[in-house]
Amino acid sequence: MQRRDRRRVKRRLKGPVKWGIAIVVTAVAIASGYSWVVLSKTVSLEAPQVVSEVKSSKPLPNVYSQAFVLLDARNNSVVAQKGGEDKIYPASLVKMMTVILAIEESRDLQERVTLSADIFSYLFTNDASVAGFSSGEVVPVIDLLYGAILPSGGDAALGLAEHVSGSETAFVGLMNRKAEALGMKYTHFTNASGLHDANQYSTVSDLVILMQYALQNNTFKQVISTPEYTTYEADAHEEGLSFSSTFFNMADNRLAKGKFIGGKTGTTDEAGLNLASAVEVNGTTYILVSAGAKDDGNKNQYEDAITIYNAYL
């Protein structure tokens, strides 16, 4: 995998705060996987916001999820929603924030990270999902990105947190500052892995903002769109670790239109079944975040995704 140019440039953030910027340049700025073209004339830039007015007049379909928002990312408008600003527990959807921050804050995705023993004792105590890395293993950042998203590995997520900020506690501060900058007004993070905490909460509306933002990053989009991935070879894993996407393992081809870009699952007893996904239809991206489906052993969050996409697209 090729290394990417990690030079930093300032970039617009989504959120409720508006500002104008006068710029007279002709450039294509590339940073952290983003690309944006600045026109060669003075323009006024405004932080884009999700338009909360619902576009569709169709009745809401019957779904298992307690809340969902379907967003047309082309114009930041809500196509349909149910309980969009209701408090929910995000579970492993938290890892989307962990991964996008790690991408933005890492100068080199090939840089090696040593996974501390504390990571594994903490995750073992809390019976958390792991990607399969080992205590003391030295892993490139890129492998941790895939390990956090595809198998939803807490070991990968905490490794990224420690790499970026030195500790999970410090990284959580970064997560909350980023949420505020993006306009995620009803979100608060307490950990980087998505383990349940009563003080870690969000809304599906906020999580749609997060996913829309993250998908603009080329590296994040590549990771979340990948069905399978094999890590670099290491002493602990001579042939590398093989990851399969929890999303693509269960998603199917029943979309009436378009195709899946990718998705991230999130499940705890308290949260229920959560899902963030995106599809592309005729060049337009639609993002759906749902939460709180009952975990009865069926793929209720996936059934909801198919039902909602097919009802409105």
Q: How many CB atoms lie within 10 A of CB 11?
A: 13
Q: Which of 32, 65, 92, 193 is catalytic?
A: 92
Q: Which of 32, 65, 106, 152 is catalytic?
A: 152
Q: Are strands 27-31 and 272-281 parallel, antiparallel or unpaired?
A: unpaired
Q: Is 299 annotated as a binding residue?
A: no
Known active-site residue 121? no
Known active-site residue 44? no
Known active-site residue 244? no
Q: How many CB atoms lie within 10 A of CB 14?
A: 19
CB 69 within 8 A of CB 292: no
Q: Which of 65, 95, 106, 245 is catalytic?
A: 95
Binding site as annotated, residues for substrate = 264
Detail the residues annotated as belonging to a binding site: 264
Return the active site residues: 92, 95, 152
